[in-house]
Structure 1
Amino acid sequence: MKISVIIPTYNRAEMLRDTLHHLARQDIPVDDFEVIVSDDGSTDHTKAVVDSFAGQLNMKYHWMEYLGFRAGHARNAGAGMATAPLLVFLDTGGMVGPDFLRAHLAEHARPGGPRAIVGYAYGYNPDYGHVEVDAIAEAMSRMPPEQVVEHFTGKSWFLDVRHGLYEKYGFDLSRMAIPWLLFFTINVSVPAKEFHQAGGFDEGFDRWGCEDMHLGFRLFRNGVPLELSRTAWALEYPHERNRANDMQDVAINLRYFLAGWEEPQVEVLALLIPRLLFGTIDDECRAVLDWAASVRDLDVSAEIDAAVKEIAPSGRIVVFGSGGRVPPSLPSATLFDFDRELLQRATAGGGHTGHHRMGLLTGLDDQSVDTVVITSRMAGLWGRWSEDLLAEAGRVGRKIHVTFSAHS
């Protein structure tokens, strides 16, 4: 067994039938792969559809009680049943050509260490209108996926919704600051060893969205490069979506993501995705990383000391941009900085708590502190983020003290 295909599903029996039909057309020996359907509590005829492929595919089936959205749980259950060294995660409704699995295997056979593959997804665009949806559905009713892809070649609306970013970076995800931004499990593959070392999917995501990026984030942190494959493509079958509800769920999941992994890049993600600014996120994260590197040696302890003397605080203080050293005059405070190592130095004595964030989303309660001090370590980010930083400072603090000239 070379490859395990894991398909989470819920009450989409006929769409699943089409996905399994195209997996049965693969041009590699059937004994080289298995297909695991992980059912998140379907009440339709999903099990009967799975059973109907028993003579064509090496099928496994896992059913669990429906307790709300649990796609991560379903994928983990499928991965737990897998016996192959390579896992492919494919959504129900992911239609593939006959060379799909051969292409994924080839990507992992290239020289170099282990990698995670982000497969291209034709037709994947949650914002499609009825015209595009109807056109794709009609074509798929009379042509196999590879012919549908050929038929719509040149149609910009048929491209993967991520195509603009792929193109921007020359289809090379290593040029991105946060390539995990594009890790969508509609079609990805990852070695089983690396998947399990990363902890699999976080089952704390109990709403739609972001659990796949979260896995990509952890793979990337573990040193697993994320790479794009345009040959290991899938075509998404059009289906109903509630875009407004989806975005509400995403906003909640992003806060969960940030609470578990405090990093400025995740903070930017959590702020901008709900604003529908997906295409700008990598550039914004790159700018934060570049600024952080440029001010690594900037010591603002004198600024903080002067602020403490000026405001004569008697209550709780928060500092945005603490750096690695704070003055003895600073009473017990909550420190925020975009440099994790410097933040650890600043909090090493135990007198202060720290958060590896910029201060865009602090996670603190409304009006829970007396004063928010914003230092010149934030100056290079001020032109872009001042409005958001001041809004968050005003939400959590009764007073705001900026130690630098906003116009300098």
Structure 2
Amino acid sequence: MRASIVISTKDKLSRLKLVLQALEPQVNHQVEVIIVFDGCNQSTMNRFNQIHFSFSPIKIVCETNVGRAVARNLGIKQAKGEIIIFLDDDRVPCPGFVQMHIDGHSEKCILYGERPDVFFSENEINELGNENDLSHVMETLKSRIVNKEDSNTAFIDPGKIFKWLNFLTGNISVEKKDIEKVGMFDESFKEWGQEDIDLGIRLFREKLPFKKDDHIVNFHLLHPSNFDIKEMKMKSLVNLKYMIKKYKKDTVLFLSLIILFIKYKLIGLSIDHNAYEYEQRFSKVKL
């Protein structure tokens, strides 16, 4: 079974380089990598074109920023694989990541893995990008995982109740024909947040089972914008309002989204409890 890895990127070249280097041993004639450059500046493009990888990624260049929904749809349309693997430009995949995604589709499903956060300064990321020993890179990433304090204290895991909450495009795969069947990403989402959850809702309605494999891991390289909680929360709430209107005729889903909106409004995003500490650490390192 062939697979297409779709990555949307916006001026995070040092992180993207590390992601692609981790993919090098995993790309073969059955696997293609599609990178959608979403309004990247010319400096980013020039520097990317000077980097050589063991495979040739397919490049889609958007001169202006079109947003993640449009960018990913462009990648899906170009994809030749039966399986679409969504990977972000700041999530470094573990060894065997691609093959585990492919093997996981022996039965029809939506397959997702683990997405631990890791903290590195920009200088440290550049150093990792120059490291020739990929196994050492992986061990270094594992050693810097950020522990989320609330992960073990929550009485209820919302993702177990509302399966579609697990559709996060940092580490998930689904058959291309199923994505096309439900209309792909809703391009009305222009800002950050919820466009992937929205697609997950529509796939869930098609009775596709969600399956998690904890062995499929990628490491999220935290960056300063992750700690702009006020901005992230505002954009997320705007998109949640849109979704509430979109699904107002589905009573159960409508009420579920209302609950999610209230949670985001009152409690905030999952990164909140780490925001101040890591924001301070970012301010003290050279980026």
Q: State the TM-score, normalizing by the size of structure 1.
A: 0.57
Secondary structure of the residue aligned to 1:214 is helix
**Cα pair distance change 1:206/1:197, threshold 3 Å:** same
- In structure 2, stretches of 5+ residues that fail to align are 249-253, 271-287
2:103 counterpart letter in structure 1: A
Q: Distance in 2 between matches of 1:231 and 1:273?
A: 29
Specify the alignment match of 2:109 in structure 1.
115
- Are the structure 2 counterparts of residues 107 and 168 from structure 1 closer, same or farther at C-alpha, using a change threshold of 3 Å? farther
Other structure's SS at 1:202 match: coil
Structure 2 counterpart SS, 1:203: coil
Counterpart in the other structure of 1:17: 17
The farther-off stretch of 213-222 and 140-149 is 140-149
Residue in 2 that maps onto 1:40: 38
For 1:266, the equivalent position in structure 2 comes to 257
Letter in 2 for 1:204: S
Structure 1 residue 278: Cα displacement: 6.6
What is the CA deviation profile of residues 36-84 of structure 1, one whole-angstrom value per residue up to 9, with x for unaligned ones? 00111111444345545676224211112324x6111100100110000
* CA RMSD in angstroms, aligned pairs only: 3.1
Shift of 1:256: 0.5
Pairs within 5 Å for 1:86-125: 86-109=83-106, 112=107, 114-123=108-117
Describe how 1:126-141 pairs up with structure 2 within 5 A.
Answer: 133=120, 137=124, 141=128
Residue 91 to residue 235, structure 1, CA distance change in 2 (3 Å): same
User: What pairs with 1:191-202 in structure 2 (closer than 5 Å)?
Assistant: 191-202=175-186
Identify, as 1 or 2, the structure richer in helix.
2
Match for residue 235 of structure 2? 249
User: Contact conserved, 2:93 with 2:219, CA < 8 A, in 1?
Assistant: yes
Distance 1:55 1:182 in 2: 32
**Within 5 A, what are the aligned runs for 1:316-395?**
none
1:250 touches 1:274 (CA, 8 Å); kept in 2? no
Separation (CA, whole Å) in 2 of partners of 1:271 and 1:236: 27
Of 30, 41, 64, 1:66 maps to 64
**What aligned pairs does 1:271-290 form with structure 2 within 5 A after superposition?**
271-276=262-267
Paired residues of 2:21 and 2:53 also in contact (CA < 8 A): no
Taking structure 1 as reference, are residues 197 and 86 closer, same or farther at Cα in structure 2, changes over 3 Å only? same
1:167–1:14 CA distance, 2 compared to 1 (3 A): farther
Residues in 2 aligned to 1:32 and 1:162: alpha-carbon distance in whole angstroms: 40
Matches within 5 A, 1:290-309: none
Question: Could you tell me how far apart the structure 2 residues matched to 1:230 and 1:136 are?
Answer: 30
Segments of structure 1 that go 5 or more residues without pairing to the other structure are 125-131, 280-408
> Hey, what's the Cα distance between the residues in 2 that align with 1:199 and 1:270?
24
The CA deviation at 1:218 is 1.0
SS of residue in 1 equivalent to 2:29: helix
Q: Which residue of 1 aligns with 2:209?
A: 225
Give the conservation status (yes or no) of the 8 Å contact 1:119–1:187: yes
Q: Distance in 2 between matches of 1:120 and 1:278?
A: 18
Whether contact under 8 Å (2:14, 2:126) holds in the other structure is: no
SS at match of 2:178: helix
1:41·1:64 contact (CA, 8 Å) conserved in 2?
Answer: yes
Q: Percent identity?
A: 22
Mark the CA change 1:90 to 1:163 in structure 2 (over 3 Å): closer, same or farther: farther
Deviation of the 1:182 alpha carbon: 2.6
Bigger relative CO (Cα 8 Å, ≥ 6 apart): 2
CA contact (8 A) 1:38 1:77 kept: yes
Distance 2:155 2:31 in 1: 32
Q: Distance in 1 between matches of 2:84 and 2:125?
A: 31
TM-aligned CA deviation for residue 274 of structure 1: 2.1
- Match of 1:40, as an amino acid? D
Residue correspondences, number? 258
Residue 146 of structure 1 is matched in structure 2 by 138
Which residue of structure 1 aligns with residue 196 of structure 2? 212
| Alignment correspondent of 1:3 | 3
Residues of 1 paired with 2:11 and 2:161: CA distance? 37
Residue identity opposite 1:30 in structure 2: N
Residue 82 (str. 1) matches residue 79 (str. 2)? yes
Shift of the alpha carbon at 1:259?
1.0
Deviation at 1:92, TM superposition (A): 0.5
